[in-house]
Amino acid sequence: MFSLPKNVTLIEVGPRDGLQNEKNNISTDSKLAYIHALQKAGIKEMELTSFVSPKWVPQMADADEIVRKAKKYGRQIVLTPNDKGVQTALQAGAQNIAVFVGVSNTFNQKNINRTTEEAVNALRPVIKRLKQQGHFVRACISTAFHCPYEGWIKPEQTIALCQQFIDMDVDELSVADTDGMANPVVSYSLFNSLKERFPHILITAHFHDTRKLGLTNIYASLQAGVDRFDTSAGGLGGCPFAPGATGNVATEDVLYLLESLDIHTGIDLQKVILAVDEVAPHLSRPITTAMYQLSKRKE
């Protein structure tokens, strides 16, 4: 038996990754109710929203209002791909910024209209300034395993992109299986390499559950020493520019796995279900996560 971490941090990405791909127009008040219910469940790190072009992702057009109105609690992160988004986010009062770039050029062209190199070069001075101003910076590395357009990505390519962000002194790498193609073997292998290579930085795994391997990938990553996971209450999510990708691995299902392994998160599973209840009526699709469905059967 491998030794597993005793404590794990879940970074809730439901309000951002979860809702960015939603077809229904969800009101700002409904999003805030979801965020506040998640806070009540004990979630202390959360991606609240993203500052991106509303023409590209209309669902995130109220980012400014979300940041201004969300109750301050724990580490609240906003996602953005460029300096314009960073400026607007800081004006709204955001303190913790996540930037994102894929390893794959084609994915970046589709997602942010830039090549990998163009995106990284543009972010370098932005991150430098953020760090000088004392902000927390998280770098989200998309298509770390596989790209929906280019196919499998070599681990060396992902590690090389991570190294570029380490050189920019980011605080956290969130390494993403964007289209849910990873399996436990490649998950263990990549995260083992990243933990060995970058021992002094927060390393987070971000799994989309397209092929229902999210929990097994998390178990494999725990064995590699990963103690931070991006998850989405209700299993919502998906990138509009990653065709076929479905939601993130669900917070409530991951909590059940972690509790069964005696791993502490400080998050109350039943209260996460209540948070899902807040958002579920506004969504265009039913919630199909195991723990959510079981909770309804008991009622």
Of the candidates 6, 68, 71, 84, which one interacts with ligand HMG according to CB under 6 A?
Answer: 84
Q: Which is nearer to ligand HMG, 241 or 269 (CB)?
A: 241
Kindly indicate which of the ranges 109-117, 131-139, 161-169, 250-258 contains the residues binding ligand HMG, using the contact rule CB under 6 A.
Answer: 109-117
List, in sequence order, every beta strand (DSSP E) within the chain. 9-12, 45-50, 75-79, 96-102, 136-142, 146-147, 151-152, 172-177, 202-207, 228-231
Q: How far is CA 174 from the centre of its chain?
A: 7
Rg of the chain over CA atoms, in angstroms?
Answer: 18
Both tokens of 85, joined, read 């988004």
Task: Establish if 209 lies at the interface with ligand HMG (CB under 6 A).
Answer: no
Question: Any contact of residue 22 with Mg ion (CB under 5 A)?
Answer: no
50 touches ligand HMG (CB under 6 A): yes
Beta bridge partners of 100: 140
Our finding on whether 64 is near ligand HMG (CB under 6 A) is no
The answer to whether residue 17 forms part of the interface with ligand HMG (CB under 6 A) is: yes
Say whether residue 177 binds Mg ion (CB under 5 A).
Answer: no
Q: Are 219 and 249 in contact (CB under 8 A)?
A: no
- Is residue 56 a contact point for ligand HMG (CB under 6 A)? yes
Candidates 47-55, 196-204, 260-268, 288-296; binding stretch for ligand HMG (CB under 6 A): 47-55
Q: Does 64 bind Mg ion (CB under 5 A)?
A: no
- The rounded distance, in Å, linking the Cα atoms of 73 and 256 is 24
- Pick from 11, 14, 17, 234: which binds Mg ion (CB under 5 A)? 17
Binding to ligand HMG by residue 115, rule CB under 6 A?
no
Which whole-number Å values give the CA distances from 11 to 89, 172, 175, 191, 228, in the listed order?
A: 19, 12, 13, 17, 7
**Main-chain dihedrals φ then ψ at residue 73, nearest 5 degrees:** -160, 120
Measured between alpha carbons, how far is 221 from 204 in angstroms, rounded to an integer?
A: 10
Q: Is residue 158 near ligand HMG by the rule CB under 6 A?
A: no
Residue from 41, 45, 51, 273 that binds ligand HMG (CB under 6 A)? 51
Exposed / middle / buried, residue 49 (Cβ in 10 Å: 0-12, 13-18, 19+): buried
Cβ proximity to ligand HMG, 216 vs 231, nearer residue:
231
Residue (17 or 253) nearer to Mg ion, CB: 17
Q: Does 53 bind ligand HMG (CB under 6 A)?
A: yes
Q: State which of residues 108, 116, 142, 295 lies at the interface with ligand HMG (CB under 6 A).
A: 142
Catalytic residue list contains 239: yes
Task: Give the C-alpha separation, 259 to 161, whole Å.
Answer: 34
One of 8, 112, 254, 255 touching ligand HMG (CB under 6 A): 112
Q: Which residues make up the interface to Mg ion (CB under 5 A)?
A: 17
Q: Which residues participate in catalysis according to the annotation? A: 239
